DNA sequence: TGTTTTCGTTACTTATAAAGTCACATATTC
DNA sequence: GAATATGTGACTTTATAAGTAACGAAAACA
């Protein structure tokens, strides 16, 4: 498959939503992400269901933050996206009968699971607000 | 893409090669892995170049171990496969100009890199021989 | 010498999942 | 009622490993 870029993309969107009070349309977000509004709506759906953003229809509608970014961890964002498949590497088969194949799968899965834990820990330690907290001044200069 | 199962597969093969003195053909390995001999030869090529196995042509030819399994770490096997793409998740773009997108990418990459380090550490701590060392008796019973 | 076996390699097809696209119903504002 | 937006279903495209086919080269065997 292609590389799944939903996590960085929605983080990017959340940071932008925090820069304005006005609703931002899927069309505008699509231009930011170089993609189209339908994909934006689908990708943002999980964040809406998680209560991180709200969407309103009609004139003047669009996406707005529904929660402060310092109360949303990256782990929660990842979970809101449906905890997408993290690894491109995996086991050879689900339940092999060969003992040697079982051993090979066990070792592979163990290393992957350890890596997944690290990934989750890292995401859990950081809020979306943290991503720019050390760059606030720099960012303000460029808005 | 499909899930990359080369690592568990070649580990499986190495463990089998350790069970016999005779060369094992790509055809026989293909039957073990439920795939075909061409794919086996391509996948094993990296292990041959790394000096972990040898291949001989002609009658009575095939694949044999060229090194003791207790001298090969899983990390070396992974490297011999060309260190395949580990993650299905990745950054949104290589060098975005938007500072907020840069921040989103940085955070995503940082979590992934930490996870990769854990993965490599895990693989580095284990030799191929370790995979079955605690199951030696059980495996002998089933051969 | 010639046939068989086996690897080594190239070229091509298939499978899979995210990305991307299109269309349209629904809801809201003007 | 017209215009603007989301929500969603159906479909196409893209990227990459897996899988397949074919054939030359090398080694063993008769």
Angle of CA points A6, B99, A24, to nearest 5°: 60
Q: Which two tokens stand for residue A63?
A: 């996406």
Would you state the pLDDT for residue B143? Answer: 47
Quick one: pLDDT at residue A143? 47
Closest residue by Cα to residue A58 from A13, A25, A97: A25
Cα–Cα dist A79/A76, whole Å: 5
DSSP letter for each residue of B121-143: HHHHT-BTTHHHHTTHHHHHHH-
Q: List pLDDT tens digits, range B1-14.
A: 789 999 999 999 99
| Lowest mean pLDDT, pick from A25-29, A79-83, B1-5, B138-142 | B138-142
In this prediction the pTM is 0.90
B59 CB inside 7 Å of strand C: yes
Q: Is the CB of A137 under 7 A from strand C?
A: no
Q: Which of A86, A101, A126 sits opposite B88 (nearest CB)?
A: A86
Which of A1, A4, A8 has the most B C-beta neighbours within 10 Å, making it the best mutation to test the interface with B?
Answer: A8
Q: CA of B36 and C1' of D19: distance in angstroms?
A: 8
pLDDT of residue A91: 87
Say if CB B115 and CB A119 are below 8 A apart.
Answer: yes
pLDDT at A137 over 60: no
Q: What pLDDT is stored for residue B96 in this prediction?
A: 86
Say whether A63 sits in a helix, a strand or coil: strand
Q: What is the pLDDT of residues B8-66, one digit of tens each?
A: 999 999 999 999 999 999 999 999 999 999 999 999 999 999 999 999 999 999 999 99
Q: Do B100 and A138 touch (CB under 8 A)?
A: no
Between CA A100 and CA B132 the distance in angstroms is: 8
* Cβ neighbours, 10 Å, residue B46: 20
What is the Cα–Cα distance from B137 to A29, expressed in whole angstroms? Answer: 60
Q: Are A125 and A80 in contact (CB under 8 A)?
A: no
């Amino acid at each position: 498959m292609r590389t799944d870029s939903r996590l960085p993309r929605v983080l990017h969107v959340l940071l932008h939503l925090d820069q304005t009070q006005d609703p931002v349309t899927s069309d505008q977000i699509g231009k930011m992400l170089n993609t189209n509004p339908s994909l934006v709506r689908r990708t943002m759906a999980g964040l809406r269901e998680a209560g991180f953003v709200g969407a309103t229809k009609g004139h003047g509608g669009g996406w707005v933050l529904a929660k402060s970014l310092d109360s949303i961890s990256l782990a929660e964002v990842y979970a809101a996206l449906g905890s997408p498949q993290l690894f491109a590497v995996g086991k050879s088969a689900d339940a092999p009968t060969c003992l040697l194949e079982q051993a090979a799968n066990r070792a592979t899965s163990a290393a992957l699971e350890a890596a997944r834990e690290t990934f989750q820990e890292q995401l859990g330690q950081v809020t979306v607000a943290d991503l720019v907290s050390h760059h606030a001044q720099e960012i303000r200069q460029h808005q």
